């Protein structure tokens, strides 16, 4: 009996060390998506609950300006929409804000259920205080009733200053944490999520289509977790170049 018990304990210990097998991200299993320029949406998008659509970019170098990334205004009556502006700089001037507000107005006038503006900017974790100062300006520039979403880096919940993250919670309505670069999931992503349940503002997790994903254990106790957003990919080009990531 002792031998049987020892073997049973060893088997249980081995099982506890095994990690659940990562599954591939299938858009058909989700209902929120990033939709970038040039990407043909799959059938799964027809039943989407929310779409984050790249509307414009503010690029580094040269004069600051909003570059329109779409041939026309989307017309979607089903899902809620977020107008995403991808930013490589934060020195937005009055003309830039006029252009952003005009784009928001066009999208709303087209009959879309426009939720608000999402800013896609890679704010370094040690510089969250500077990013917060910019977001305070954003709140003052947004039209009344527009919500604010931002993207966030994978290490915010692990290494971000809790006080600065709490201050962000008073400015933004949500943060969407990115788990990928290019077309692939960042290796070792699970280690960054051990304290995701302590992130003091509403958050979603962005997955890349076809990437690996195993839900971290902390999500089960995460009361501010608001779901997943899948970044849809265009087919690889012959040169092997993939879609840009948000």
Report the CATH number at residue 219: 3.20.20.80
Residue 224's pLDDT is what?
Answer: 95
What's the pLDDT band for 50 if we cut at 50, 70, 90?
very high
What contacts 78, CB < 8 A, 6 or more positions away?
46, 48, 113
Residue 242's pLDDT is what?
Answer: 40
Q: For the segment 136-154, what is each residue's pLDDT rounded down to a tens digit? A: 999 999 999 999 999 999 9
The answer to the question of residue 238 being in a domain is no
The answer to the question of residue 243 being in a domain is no
Comparing CA positions, the residue from 236, 227, 243 lying closest to residue 48 is: 227
Rounded mean pLDDT of 53-81? 94
The answer to the question of residue 167 being in a domain is yes
Res 244 pLDDT > 70: no
The answer to the question of residue 122 being in a domain is yes
Q: For the segment 7-42, what is each residue's pLDDT rounded down to a tens digit? A: 333 333 333 334 445 699 999 999 999 999 888 777
Cβ proximity of 68 and 86 under 8 Å? no
Residue 125 domain boundaries: 30-231
CA distance 212 to 115: 29
The answer to the question of residue 8 being in a domain is no
The answer to the question of residue 107 being in a domain is yes
Rounded mean pLDDT of 200-225? 95
In this structure, how many other beta carbons lie within 10 angstroms of the beta carbon of residue 167?
Answer: 17
CA distance 76 to 79: 7
Q: How many CA atoms lie within 13 A of 108 on its CB side?
A: 14
Q: For the segment 76-123, what is each residue's pLDDT rounded down to a tens digit? A: 989 999 999 999 999 999 999 999 999 999 999 999 999 999 999 999
Rounded mean pLDDT of 66-81? 93
Percent of the chain with pLDDT over 70: 87
Q: At what angle do helices 162-169 and 128-141 cross, to 10 degrees?
A: 10
Cβ proximity of 135 and 161 under 8 Å? no
Comparing CA positions, the residue from 169, 113, 105, 106 lying closest to residue 143 is: 105
Rounded mean pLDDT of 215-238? 89
SS3 50: strand
Residue 21's pLDDT is what?
Answer: 54
What contacts 83, CB < 8 A, 6 or more positions away?
53, 55, 56, 103, 104, 107, 114, 116, 117, 118
How many structural domains are present in the chain? Answer: 1
Helix (H) or strand (E) holding 187: none
What's the pLDDT band for 170 if we cut at 50, 70, 90?
confident
The answer to the question of residue 194 being in a domain is yes
Q: What is the mean pLDDT of the chain?
A: 87
The answer to the question of residue 206 being in a domain is yes
Rounded mean pLDDT of 40-49? 84
CA distance 34 to 54: 8
Report the Cα 102 to chain-centroid distance in Å.
24
């Amino acid at each position: 009996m002792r031998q049987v018990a020892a073997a049973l304990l060893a088997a249980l210990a081995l099982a506890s060390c095994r990690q659940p097998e990562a599954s591939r991200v299938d858009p058909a299993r989700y209902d929120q998506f990033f939709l970038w320029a040039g990407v043909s949406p799959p059938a799964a998008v027809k039943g989407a609950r929310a779409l984050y659509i790249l509307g414009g970019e503010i690029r580094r170098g040269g004069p600051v300006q909003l570059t329109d990334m779409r041939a026309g205004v989307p017309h979607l009556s089903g899902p809620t929409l977020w107008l995403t502006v991808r930013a490589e700089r934060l020195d937005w001037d009055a003309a830039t804000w006029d252009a952003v507000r005009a784009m928001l107005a066009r999208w709303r006038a087209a009959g879309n259920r426009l939720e608000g503006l999402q800013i896609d900017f890679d704010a370094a974790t040690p510089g969250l205080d500077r990013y917060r100062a910019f977001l305070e300006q954003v709140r003052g520039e947004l039209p009344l009733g527009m919500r604010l979403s931002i993207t966030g880096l994978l290490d915010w919940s692990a290494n971000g200053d809790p006080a600065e993250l709490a201050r962000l919670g008073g400015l933004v309505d949500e943060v969407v944490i990115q788990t990928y670069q290019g077309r692939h999931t960042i290796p070792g992503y699970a280690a960054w999520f051990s304290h995701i349940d302590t992130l003091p503002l509403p958050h979603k997790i962005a997955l890349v289509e076809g990437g690996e994903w195993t839900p971290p254990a902390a999500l089960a106790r995460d009361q501010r977790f608001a779901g997943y957003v899948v970044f849809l990919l265009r087919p690889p080009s012959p040169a092997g170049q993939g879609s840009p990531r948000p």
